[in-house]
Amino acid sequence: MAPQLSSISPLQNVGVETLIAAVESSRSPLILTDYLRDDNPIIYSNQAFLELTGYDMDDVIGHNCRFLQGEDTDQDTIAELRDAVKYSKSVRVTLKNYKKDGTPFWNDLLMSPITDASGKTTHFLGMQLDITERIETQNSLRAKTAELEASNKELEQFTYATSHDLQEPLRMISSYLQLITKRYGDKLDNDGHTFLGYATEGAERMQTLIYDLLSLSKITTTKDSFKQIAMEQVVERALFNLKLVIEESHADIRIETLPEVRVDVVQMTQLFQNLISNAIKYRQPDVRPIVTISAQEQRDRYVFSVSDNGIGIPKKQFKRIFFVFQRLHTHAEYEGTGIGLAICGKIVDRHGGTIWVESEEGKGSTFKFSLPKNEGSVQ
Ligand code: ADP
């Protein structure tokens, strides 16, 4: 049952004339319908309602408010509205309505029953709000997100298909280069050997590139691949895979206490492996690389850090390096494909976290990534 006006309401001290003026001049479009008459006709509309809908007072009074509806008005919402009115309940709905000239608008409509002293519903008060702008912004945002998701998926499939299909012809190039070296190596002069060397090196680089691209496009996560694990174990796996590089560079790897997190272990291993191998690769000449892996607990997340004493990164490149193929050095200076950090970004993203870098040129870099404390979100 609808609440009744309290007998001690301060409204009783407000003169009827003031009350009328308040309703008349309200910028909120208001209508009053007669609940006791057939088809619940509108018996009052204020000026704001007429301005919103473009109708005249004569078009409105005596008619049921369904004249605002049109072919695109959602029938389920109308049924919800009708049911609430039937059972004297207040109801709030968002409806596509139409102005007198046919222009559609989104109406945030609130209908509340008005009862007499015995608690019987006699009228309904309808308050409208034109929320067209908000709904249109929401809709276009939704459409853009869907478009973006579709094009991202398409791009991922394209990357996968091309990198996959490129492998076969490349294998052919590599094996024939090997065959030429083997069979005709002694017939070639110095230039011939140099050229063949370049060609072989090019083929090898392309193989790495294709392999990295394939790894990037293959990063997908399902809930099943998540497992609760001590992060030290994940780091140990990554270090095992980097054994050779660590030995060759005499890198000093320091692991601080790390928490247990629910992650995709294969992907997390790859993430640490990429970050640690970069920390070693981009070291200062003649300085023993020191790599520290640590974690910090925050309110609802952990922030992991991989810091080094390497060459550092200029501040204006902090964002760029996470994009595919973005490198700050030539191949001759440092080997690489420019895909490693893009892979890291994608992995962290799939776990519901973010990745960033803090660095000072000549002093070193710290790559940080966050992981939510609750189960990583699967996207
Ligand atoms: P790659 O190492 O194959 O070039 P990445 O995507 O892993 O590709 O890194 C992108 C670029 O970011 C690198 O080319 C390098 O310039 C820079 N970078 C990454 N990690 C470090 C680091 N620890 N110290 C300095 N520069 C780094």
Amino acid 182 reads K
- Among the listed ranges 28-37, 128-137, 218-227, which one has the minimum average pLDDT value? 218-227
Site of tokens 């997340």: 301
What is residue 378's predicted lDDT score, i.e. its pLDDT? Answer: 45
pLDDT band at 232 (very low <50, low <70, confident <90, very high): very high
Report d(CA 348, CA 265) in Å as an integer: 12
- Decide: 368 and 271 in contact? Cβ < 8 Å: no
The answer on pLDDT for 5 being more than 70 is no
Opening angle at CA 272, ends 267 and 278, nearest 5: 125
Q: How far is the CA of 280 from the centre of ligand 1 (A)?
A: 10
Q: Which two tokens stand for residue 5?
A: 């006006």
> Residue 286 belongs to what H/E stretch?
none
- Among the listed ranges 38-52, 213-227, 283-297, which one has the minimum average pLDDT value? 213-227
The residue-averaged pLDDT of 311-324 equals: 94
The answer on pLDDT for 220 being more than 80 is no
Q: How far is the CA of 278 from the centre of ligand 1 (A)?
A: 6
The answer on pLDDT for 57 being more than 80 is yes
89-105 tens-digit pLDDT: 999 999 999 999 999 99
Residue of the nearest CA to atom 4 in ligand 1?
A: 338
Q: How far is the CA of 224 from the centre of ligand 1 (A)?
A: 31
Ligand 1 contacts (CB < 6 A) are 274, 278-279, 282, 308, 310-311, 313, 321, 326-329, 336-342, 365
pTM: 0.68
- Decide: 98 and 68 in contact? Cβ < 8 Å: yes
Site of tokens 């893009």: 342
The answer on pLDDT for 156 being more than 90 is no
Strand partners, 235: none
Phi, psi of 352 (to 5 degrees): 80, 20
Q: Write the DSSP string, 226-244.
A: EEEEEHHHHHHHHHHHTHH
The answer on pLDDT for 86 being more than 50 is yes
Residue of the nearest CA to atom 11 in ligand 1?
A: 327
What is residue 258's predicted lDDT score, i.e. its pLDDT? Answer: 97
What is residue 377's predicted lDDT score, i.e. its pLDDT? Answer: 45
pLDDT band at 376 (very low <50, low <70, confident <90, very high): very low
The answer on pLDDT for 21 being more than 90 is yes
pLDDT band at 7 (very low <50, low <70, confident <90, very high): low
Q: Which two tokens stand for residue 186?
A: 């002694």
The answer on pLDDT for 333 being more than 80 is yes
What is residue 22's predicted lDDT score, i.e. its pLDDT? Answer: 95
Report d(CA 308, CA 366) in Å as an integer: 6
pLDDT band at 379 (very low <50, low <70, confident <90, very high): very low
* Separation of CA 322 from chain center: 17
- Among the listed ranges 141-145, 150-154, 276-280, 371-375, which one has the minimum average pLDDT value? 371-375
What is residue 4's predicted lDDT score, i.e. its pLDDT? Answer: 54
172-216 tens-digit pLDDT: 999 999 999 999 999 999 999 999 999 999 999 899 989 888 888
Q: What is the mean pLDDT of the chain?
A: 92
Q: How far is the CA of 273 from the centre of ligand 1 (A)?
A: 13
